Chain A
């Protein structure tokens, strides 16, 4: 069966909106995707009929809410092919997940002159938490370089994995450039030297089939809102033994087995990392987003997005004075570019006037911008519901930019 993008679009009511008198062409999916009706309805239904606090009450609502919340954990576990649902920790998003691992697993295990390896491609959320750990412990942050296409240089990565390397953190897919990193290979190199690896999967999970056991990583972090789910909820997957090694970093209710003033016994994983009442509704709706994504068929979505990327890359390259930033052989549906004649902010405003929503700026990846000697790019990023016609409207908008500024 061919890919029916029009049917998918009907699931996303926001796509009906008019922006400045033009139909919306939403091409800012790497920042956040829109939400399909099943997710929106799940949120409404939960608060309309089921809400109560979880894990404690013996009353019906609490039991139902608990079952839905834990059911969502099972769905997330299956999505990643986790060995057990208990390997899924619900957190606010990728940022909180990386902060948890950096403070609770890595910080107690590194000291002066130890090294933490990241790459030049990282989002600020996979840089700043490691800088905190380095300041707190005296460890050094080591950055694996990228080449002019925006690919991690494998030999350099291997060379920088030194006897002092204690941990490696790496994006699965670059948010600024779209590069799909050869993570299986990079994990293998790290593991050969006994270095555990965290993957930032925020940009990968809506586009690629992720199998954490096949990848062999130690931690995998991602956000719900970039995969058609709500904001404010995300997931850390950790291999059971890694999660068990890790102490909780927030104390409170929900995460304990017993508390006295003399001694508190923590609950088992994953609950010991979920202090306080969690975003119950968010987790349940994220589970529904997982169902939605799986019903769409990730392979088909990935192929569709590749087709959009190919079309956009071809057409944008043909415009005079454009430079595509990020030309890796393996890319997700992200097209970052600069125009000689116009600043990305002006490009973004003119495209908005045409109803085309793109991201302009440094995409929380200033080191990537510095690497290419630019302050910012214009970034179009694609999702399951985007169409070829929207790509053509992007390009028509860019022609208008060239007319004004060229």
Chain B
């Protein structure tokens, strides 16, 4: 296997894709949005609970490829205890990172464990896979005037 592919499908990604964290609908009411990638038919629903100005829980469900599932799973872990504004900023940083020149350095400090998704940079067609859950998360936050009950 080539080094690009090894970089793309590294252990952390395979682990999160096979055993996604925070998978399934949460109990109680929270913000919710659905994301769809018409290119591959992938679908994801992201649930975000915000309490006292901070994200206390992010969960997701749906079906997708290893990259989109791992990205969603990693996102749910990363966003916990961030403010909605911080979550939006992290999305921007993440989006810039996965579309940046593959030869450039990733901001590992700011990205934290999201940096494992940097391998996507060699595969522009897969950037959508990596960002689907993030777009959906932001849509959930944007709809925050009308939280959706998930019961």
Check B5 against A353 for contact (C-beta < 8 Å): yes
Interface residues of A in 329-346 (CB under 8 A from B): 342-346
Secondary structure call for the A interface: helix
Check B5 against A349 for contact (C-beta < 8 Å): yes
Residues on B with C-beta less than 8 A from A360 are 40
Residues on A with C-beta less than 8 A from B41 are 361-362, 366, 369, 375-376
Check A353 against B2 for contact (C-beta < 8 Å): yes
* A405 interface hit (Cβ, 8 Å): yes
Q: Which of B58-66, B87-95, B137-145 contacts A (4 or more CB under 8 A)?
A: B58-66
How far does the alpha carbon of A221 sit from the alpha carbon of B122 in the complex, in Å?
39
Check A361 against B39 for contact (C-beta < 8 Å): yes
How far does the alpha carbon of A376 sit from the alpha carbon of B129 in the complex, in Å?
14
Cβ-neighbour of A20 out of B4, B40, B66 (below 8 A): B4
Size of interface on B: residues with Cβ below 8 Å to A: 21
Cβ-neighbour of B66 out of A21, A343, A353, A376 (below 8 A): A343
Q: Nearest chain B CB to A373's CB is how many angstroms away?
A: 11
Query: Using an 8 Å CB-CB cutoff, how does the interface string of A342-385 with B read, 1 for contact, 0 for none?
Result: 11111001100100000011100010010000011000000000
Check A349 against B123 for contact (C-beta < 8 Å): yes
* B67 interface hit (Cβ, 8 Å): yes
Q: Nearest chain A CB to B68's CB is how many angstroms away?
A: 8
Q: Nearest chain A CB to B91's CB is how many angstroms away?
A: 22
How far does the alpha carbon of A405 sit from the alpha carbon of B65 in the complex, in Å?
11
Residues on B with C-beta less than 8 A from A349 are 5, 8, 123, 126
* B42 interface hit (Cβ, 8 Å): yes
Check A400 against B1 for contact (C-beta < 8 Å): yes
Closest to A21 in B: B2
Check B63 against A405 for contact (C-beta < 8 Å): no
Cβ-neighbour of A344 out of B1, B2, B4, B40 (below 8 A): B40
Closest to A403 in B: B1
Contacts A345-B40, A376-B40, A405-B14 known; list 16 others, CB within 8 Å: A342-B66, A343-B64, A345-B42, A345-B67, A345-B129, A346-B67, A349-B123, A353-B1, A353-B4, A353-B5, A360-B40, A361-B41, A369-B41, A400-B1, A405-B18, A405-B66
Q: Give me the 7 closest cross-chain CB pairs, A-B, nearest first.
A: A375-B41, A343-B65, A345-B65, A353-B5, A346-B66, A346-B65, A376-B41
In the complex, 24 of the A-B residue pairs with CB atoms within 8 angstroms, ordered by the A residue number, are A20-B4, A342-B66, A343-B64, A343-B65, A345-B42, A345-B67, A345-B126, A346-B67, A349-B5, A349-B123, A349-B126, A353-B1, A353-B5, A361-B39, A361-B40, A369-B41, A375-B40, A375-B41, A375-B63, A400-B1, A404-B1, A404-B9, A405-B14, A405-B18
